[in-house]
Amino acid sequence: MLRIKRTSLLMLGILLLCLSFTQKVSAQTDLDRLYIKYKGQTETTIFVGEREINARVIINYNAKGKPYRIIVYGEAAADTDMENLVEELGNTKIKAGYRKLLHPNAVNFDQNRVYENNIQVSVYQKGTQYAQYGIKKMDERNQLVGETGTPHYTDDFFYFEVGDTARRSTLKPEKFDF
């Protein structure tokens, strides 16, 4: 009888330990997962089909030093299937419980004044977490002055962002004194 109680207590302890571990793992947000992956990096490589695309990484932190947004951006050749990648990323978010907002959003992004701003992005939201994915066609840069023909696209600028609006600001606004 004593042996059965000890075995039962041991099994209960193991079960509670497993449940505790499962809750900690499932409580990790997409932002936390990506932060672990990209922490300390300024560049990464994205694989689209057989192609390797170099991308830049930006991590924004709130006043308490916690990440609230991660952006991956860059350029890919126009014949790279970036549209398919964006669709796959969106489908993954929907499977993870995000909902796609009906209307696209415009992101004003001009990193070091190299890229054109106002990129149309698809937005996915789950509570305070969000993801935004967009591509902007880049006109051929060496067109003749005054040429009025159909623009030729040589590159796709891509912009991927994952964040959490609850983490953006963690301080109370101070009363303005001047």
pLDDT digits (tens, 9 = 90+) for 123-144: 999 999 999 999 888 765 555 5
Q: What is the pLDDT of residue 121?
A: 93
CA 98 to the chain's CA centroid: 13
Residue 177 in any domain: the answer is no
Q: What is the pLDDT of residue 37?
A: 93
CA 84 to the chain's CA centroid: 16
Q: How many CB atoms lie within 10 A of CB 26?
A: 7
Residue 92 in any domain: the answer is yes
pLDDT for residue 170 is more than 90: no
- How confident is the model over 43-95, as pLDDT tens digits? 999 988 888 999 999 999 988 889 999 999 998 887 788 888 999 999 999 99
Residue 12 in any domain: the answer is no
Dihedral angle, C-alpha 56, 89, 27, 34, nearest 10 °: -10
Residue 39 in any domain: the answer is yes
Q: What is the pLDDT of residue 25?
A: 45
- How confident is the model over 91-111, as pLDDT tens digits? 999 999 999 998 888 888 876
80: its two tokens: 């790279």
Residue 72 in any domain: the answer is yes
pTM, entire model: 0.73
Residue 51 in any domain: the answer is yes
In terms of C-beta distances under 8 Å and separation of at least 24 residues, what long-range contacts does 39-44 make, across chains too?
44/72
- How many domains are there within the chain? 1
Residue 112 in any domain: the answer is yes
Residue 14 in any domain: the answer is no
Higher pLDDT, 14 or 12: 14
Residue 34 structural domain: 27-168
